[in-house]
Structure 1
Amino acid sequence: MRLLPWTGADGKPCYLSTDDPDSLLSRLADDVEAAQLASAEAVLAGARAVMHDPKAGEHAVRCALARAVESLGDVLRIAVGRGDGTR
């Protein structure tokens, strides 16, 4: 069973049961994970820039933190799905 990098409409985890890593849904999940990881890298760079800017206001810090929290959730879900983390 593979934990997919998205949830259902009810917020519950979605799983894929297949032995074919080249199935359409497996490839879609791989693409979504790659996009989430790339986004997390960009969010990290942006958050670092905000944190190193002494002129950054509360709004900038809150926005950077909100995006970082979203990205961390995505990255943790990917790690758990790949068996590299626990929940």
Structure 2
Amino acid sequence: MANTPQSRKRIRRNARRADVNGARVSRIRTFIKAIETAIASGKKDEAEAALKAAQPEIARGVAKGVMHKNTAARKMSRLTKRVNACG
């Protein structure tokens, strides 16, 4: 149990940040899912548009610290390869 005022404040702050970060990760996953859905249905132009929308969102995740830089680069690279190979 937190004893000092500072540690109580940190617990409150950490809970708020967890909510914000969770929402940000969820948003990134939604963007990625849109790309994968377009690839699965064979719509290359739709997949390209979804990829173009997802790239800044993934980069923002890196900037905000919810995703590692190399993880984001790997995801973008693999998604780009899949979109280019589509249709």
Q: TM-score, normalised by structure 2?
A: 0.50
**Quick check: which has more Rg, 1 or 2?**
2
Structure ranking higher in helix proportion:
2
Structure ranking higher in strand proportion:
1
Q: TM-score, normalised by structure 1?
A: 0.50
